[in-house]
Amino acid sequence: MKALLGLLVGCLVLLFAGCTSPTSLTDLARRDAHVGRKIRIVGEVSNTKIPQILGIEVDSNSPDLRGQIAEAEGVLERYEITKEEFDRQWHESGPFQSRGPGVFYRLRVPFSRETAKVKKPNQAPEPMAPSGRGSS
């Protein structure tokens, strides 16, 4: 019974974690503090094979917003490729395109393994012209 109750509570926590509004991440030095959390990032999409906003991998194939300001929302994921893993892959597969060993960040769709897609940022509505005044 306790195990079932624990499972139910765990599922509810995950459900509500995916439904909460995201935190806007602006300080890259604090990326690790947001790993596993839902975040929102806004910035220029890098014009690279693996597109990024603020150094975080995003999906910008459709729409392709490379070189433009965009936003993306999802769960921040951190992964590391060690020198040993890189060398092993190199010896097993031969030369391949890679950024090499290092720590990388990716924004993924909640409850999925898909990389979060970029979209044009929400723009504030244009101010309305005062009524009753004509243009001169």
Domain ranges of the chain: 19-108
**pLDDT over 70, % of the chain:** 75
Strands of the 56-57 sheet, one edge to the other: 23-24, 38-44, 69-81, 102-108, 56-57, 52-53
Torsion, Cα of 49, 46, 114, 90 (10° steps): 40
pLDDT (tens digit per residue) in 53-108? 999 999 999 889 999 999 999 999 999 999 999 999 999 998 887 888 999 999 99
Q: Whole-model pTM above 0.85?
A: no
Q: Look at residue 118 in the predicted model and tell me its pLDDT.
A: 96
Phi-psi category of residue 66: left, alpha or beta, with phi > 0 → left and psi -120 to 50 → alpha = beta
Per-residue pLDDT at 136: 42
Amino acid identity, position 104: F
